[in-house]
Amino acid sequence: MKTRVDVVCVHFKDGHIKPLEIVWDDGRRFSIDQILNIMPAASMKSGGVGMRYTCIIHSHKRYLFLEENHRWFVE
Amino acid sequence: MDRVILHCDLNSFYASVEELYHPEYKNVPLAVGGSEQARHGIILAKNQLAKKYKIQTAEPIWQAKQKCPNLVVVPPSFDKYVYFSNRVREIFQEYTDLIEPFGIDEAWLDVTGSQMLFGDGKCIADTLRMRIKEELGITASVGVSFNKIFAKLGSDYKKPDATTVITRENKHLIVDPLPVEDLLFVGKSATKALHACGIYTIGQLANTDCAYLEKVLGKMGKMLWCYANGLDTSEVKPWGYKEDAKSISHGMTTKRDIRNVMDAKMVLSLMAEEVTSDMRIQKVVCKKVCLFMRDVNLRVFQRQCVLPKKTQCASDILDAVMKLLSKHYDFEIPLRSIGIRVMDFESEESGRQLSLFEDAIHDEKGEQLEKTVDLIRKRYGFTSIKRGSMMEKTDLFD
């Protein structure tokens, strides 16, 4: 399943993007504690490609993807 | 020093992209197929599971479903395929600027000069495969060799997701036993001719006397002999290189069968406009025209003629193909598709032979009119202006 989410992020003046917080459909908010890695990647579980942010959220490692169409999803 | 050429082939490209966006299709036989309603119902690509049912590219969907009743057929999404193809080429560009695409899903890369930076040919091939898999979720087969022909054989040798290295040393083990039809540019008729000479493998082709092959296959014979012996010296073109077109063609599979000359004229007038519009963009005039047809039994044939004068005018092309049609086809069997190919180009600046009998001013007016139509279409779209006669038989077109 592809879970699309709202993301609060900072767009830096050099062009790069840092996601800060994920907002779930039911309104729950999860802050991103750490970003371990950013790289282009395919999501083999959910389907699709984009820039993959490997994040630590509440001590769990999760992949957050930003697709070419500027939409975010969590794998 | 030998060159290091890579040939990269994206495995089951269309089907792999569809699987990526629909992970639920990963464990079912899947094919990408054209629209059956619009009579483009053929298999364009299939996944590994569908291959087990011996489903072939270009076979009709109904036939494929007979082989595999639970085959899932999805429509093509060309935008996505172009996007993935471009992304793969962006990865290639990080390793070399000598990249020659061969269709949407294949390319040759010359990495001779990149080895000091990125490792030898096999190392670069493995890196490319790994990156394509990780970043784009699709797999590629890569052939590594000292010429383009063997590199292509290498990428076909082991699929999916594999690297095959063909060197001068292992050539006799890998290349020589392969069937002769695996060699690039050996089509159906060349295979038949070679089989008739008792040549079944690439090794046998390589060991045949070149002069004999030339006698049997003409110029092609020498070329294939060179290919089989690893003597291909053609270069990998730099990225962005564009060769001048040798021919321009437009064809159409109509919504219903083409039953008579009037139906055919309707379609051909549209095709003539399209080829001449392309010629004007490329600023060329043609000297030869070819009419190609496919009947409802899928038999393909073509007829060509030299034009009385060089032209880029749709009415001249239409006249010529209509003459060919009435001379060579009686419509006993209706046609499924029809098209026009123009060739033997010269620059439009090259000057034209005026005719003693035809009206040059009339010709110029015709050309001016067509250029104006081009301008209107460029601004408002191709369908913004069309011939009145085209409004009659709308059941022929999509």
Could you tell me the CATH number of the domain that includes residue B374?
A: 3.30.1490.100
Q: Which SS3 state, helix, strand or coil, does residue B349 take?
A: coil
Count Cα neighbours of B180 within 13 Å in the Cβ-side half-sphere.
Answer: 25
- CA B376-B40-B324 angle, to 5 degrees, is 65
How confident is the model over A56-69, as a mean pLDDT? 93
Same domain, B183 and B108: no
Reply yes or no: is the peptide bond before residue B160 cis, omega within 30 of 0. Answer: yes
Question: The domain that contains B194 carries what CATH number?
Answer: 1.10.150.20
Question: The domain that contains B74 carries what CATH number?
Answer: 3.30.70.270
In B, which residues are within 8 Å of A46 by CB distance? 23
Quick: pLDDT tens for B123-132: 999 999 999 9
Same domain, B162 and B261: no
Same domain, B107 and B256: no
User: Does residue A5 sit at the B interface (CB-CB below 8 Å)?
Assistant: no
**pLDDT-derived band of residue B58, with 50, 70 and 90 as boundaries?**
confident
Candidates A44, A52, A68: best to mutate against B (most CBs of B within 10 A) is: A44
**For the packed helices B13-21 and B78-93, what is the interaxial angle rounded to 10 degrees?**
100
Size of interface A-B (CB pairs under 8 A): 32
Q: Which residue has better confidence, B357 or B161?
A: B161
Quick: pLDDT tens for B18-35: 999 988 888 899 999 887
User: Does residue A40 sit at the B interface (CB-CB below 8 Å)?
Assistant: yes
**pLDDT-derived band of residue B276, with 50, 70 and 90 as boundaries?**
very high
Contact A39 B138 (CB under 8 A): no
Q: Total domain count for chain B?
A: 3
Quick: pLDDT tens for A8-45: 999 999 999 999 999 998 999 999 999 999 999 999 88
Same domain, B122 and B43: yes
Q: Which residue has better confidence, B309 or B364?
A: B309
Contact A68 B20 (CB under 8 A): no
Per-position DSSP letters for B71-139, written without gaps between them = -EEE---HHHHHHHHHHHHHHHHTT-S-EEE-SSSEEEEE-GGGHHHH-SHHHHHHHHHHHHHHHHS--
pLDDT above 90 as % of chain B: 59
Same domain, B276 and B230: no
Of B171, B194, B211, which residue sits at a domain end? B171
Candidates A49, A54, A63, A69: best to mutate against B (most CBs of B within 10 A) is: A49
Distance CA B127, CA B124 (A): 5
Same domain, B160 and B82: yes
Quick: pLDDT tens for B84-107: 999 999 999 999 999 999 999 999
Quick: pLDDT tens for B359-384: 666 677 777 888 888 888 888 887 78
Same domain, B86 and B207: no
- Residues of B known to be catalytic: 106
Q: Which of B23, B83, B135 sits opposite A47 (nearest CB)?
A: B23
In B, which residues are within 8 Å of A68 by CB distance? 83
User: Does residue A71 sit at the B interface (CB-CB below 8 Å)?
Assistant: no
Do B206 and B213 meet the contact criterion of CB atoms below 8 Å apart?
A: no
Quick: pLDDT tens for B206-261: 999 999 999 988 888 999 999 999 999 999 999 888 878 889 999 998 888 898 89
User: Does residue B134 sit at the A interface (CB-CB below 8 Å)?
Assistant: yes
Same domain, B304 and B229: no
Quick: pLDDT tens for B157-216: 998 899 999 999 999 999 999 999 999 989 888 899 999 999 999 999 999 999 999 998
Instruction: Give pLDDT, residue A30.
Output: 94
User: Does residue B17 sit at the A interface (CB-CB below 8 Å)?
Assistant: no
Same domain, B255 and B348: yes
Give residue B41's domain range: 1-171
Same domain, B97 and B164: yes
Same domain, B222 and B127: no
User: Does residue A1 sit at the B interface (CB-CB below 8 Å)?
Assistant: no
Instruction: Give pLDDT, residue B394.
Output: 67
In A, which residues are within 8 Å of B20 by CB distance? 42, 44, 47-49
Of B208, B223, B239, which residue sits at a domain end? B239
Q: What is the pTM of this model?
A: 0.78
Chain Cα centroid distance, residue B397: 23
- Taking all residues of chain B, what is their mean pLDDT, rounded to a whole number? 89
**For the packed helices B210-217 and B219-228, what is the interaxial angle rounded to 10 degrees?**
140
Contact A42 B138 (CB under 8 A): yes
Instruction: Give pLDDT, residue A47.
Output: 87
Distance CA B152, CA B206 (A): 17
Q: CA nearest B39: which of B232, B214, B298?
A: B298
| The one-letter amino acid at B92 | F
Strand partners, A54: A37, A63
Domain ranges of chain A: 3-74
Instruction: Give pLDDT, residue B358.
Output: 60
**pLDDT-derived band of residue B108, with 50, 70 and 90 as boundaries?**
very high
Count Cα neighbours of B127 within 13 Å in the Cβ-side half-sphere.
Answer: 15
Q: CA nearest A75: which of A66, A67, A39, A65?
A: A65
Q: Which of B20, B22, B83 sits opposite A42 (nearest CB)?
A: B20
Same domain, B251 and B221: no
In A, which residues are within 8 Å of B137 by CB distance? 41-44, 49
User: Does residue A54 sit at the B interface (CB-CB below 8 Å)?
Assistant: no
